[in-house]
Structure 1
């Protein structure tokens, strides 16, 4: 959580400044007829930020284990078909690190790095100060550096695959810059391998992410 505090403070400052900054930029169009300072028509958006990822609280029923949440930087690139419909490629720029706990405390760690492709619908006009959006798509999350064997055979996880749902809000700072907050839910299981062989179990990760970011349109 502490790794997201500087980003959170920067975004809060941007949001406080957003309405006046956007109004000032929009006002230039009335005095300069050769300028069209608007977010409408811009087709590419790049967002950099960070997210907290929290897996399911009971990932392996009957095993009495829990997986703590983790933080990582994130990146996304969107192509807007028009002002309201976009296709987004989103992913973690680094790995989320998770502590695995049992009844007696920590029993190991795992890392994962998700990537997703989604279609999105952005409500309101492109120049609205606040623009909610929703999305639905497909994700994969690769697991690595699994260390949950407890001294026995190595325990590994296959790549989790499934659907991802997104809901968020963009806050326009001006026609190019915007702040973003979003929530994502990924539905997918990861097959468990012991000593390199599947053992028939599946770990239900089904993680939520809560993210903050700063974006630019082109």
Structure 2
């Protein structure tokens, strides 16, 4: 269901934006040589691995939606340095074998290098990237009657490598629609009552759509 919402958001952008920016699209302006870009959008983060506490108790985190924002500096028309992050927090439900055990919020941010294929004025421009991310966790809470009841849950900041693949669809020399997928690889310690009890292995995939401007 969440992936359907993201797909509808992208299709809506592609349907509406060409009309909204028609005057810009038929100007003599070019995208070549523009060095900065900003993208605002929405993304879905889905863990690809489970969270484990020790060897006996297993927890799983649900996926969640959040707003995202990125800013890029283009060294040339093909190579860019991007700063990306969640503008709002992903809210995750923590599940145990017998149901909901608590909740936790997360907010990732990253910096990466990207290579954008094809010319700057191409209608469709795929890109790939590799960088470093950190994902902060806060607002950890447990349910009063769940598997973690009466304990204090803590999740350390996750750090590691981030791989990106995506595509930009040109709407005008300034505006473009974007769809991307990011894989965040990194573990963090898990705490109960201040004591380390295992590792949180999430390694989420973040699928996003957005609208960007290049200038």
Q: What residue is the counterpart of 1:68 in the other structure? A: 62
Query: Normalising by the residue count of structure 2, what TM-score does the alignment of the two structures yield?
Result: 0.88
The answer on 1:59 being equivalent to 2:62 is no
2:203 to 189, 195, 206: 206
Aligned length: 206
Query: Normalising by the residue count of structure 1, what TM-score does the alignment of the two structures yield?
Result: 0.87
Structure 2 unmatched runs, 5+: none
Structure 1 unmatched runs, 5+: 30-36
Q: 1:125 to 1:148 in 2, by over 3 A?
A: same
Give the deviation of 1:7 after TM superposition: 3.2
Distance 1:194 1:84 in 2: 47
Distance 1:50 1:186 in 2: 17
The answer on 1:99 being equivalent to 2:93 is yes
Q: 1:59 to 1:22 in 2, by over 3 A?
A: farther
The answer to whether the 8 A contact 2:43-2:207 is kept is: yes
Indicate the larger mover: 141-150 or 102-111: 141-150
State the SS of the aligned residue for 2:122: coil
Q: 1:206 to 1:22 in 2, by over 3 A?
A: farther
Distance 2:118 2:185 in 1: 29
State the SS of the aligned residue for 1:125: coil
Q: 1:91 to 1:176 in 2, by over 3 A?
A: same
State the SS of the aligned residue for 1:209: strand
RMSD of the alignment, in Å?
2.3
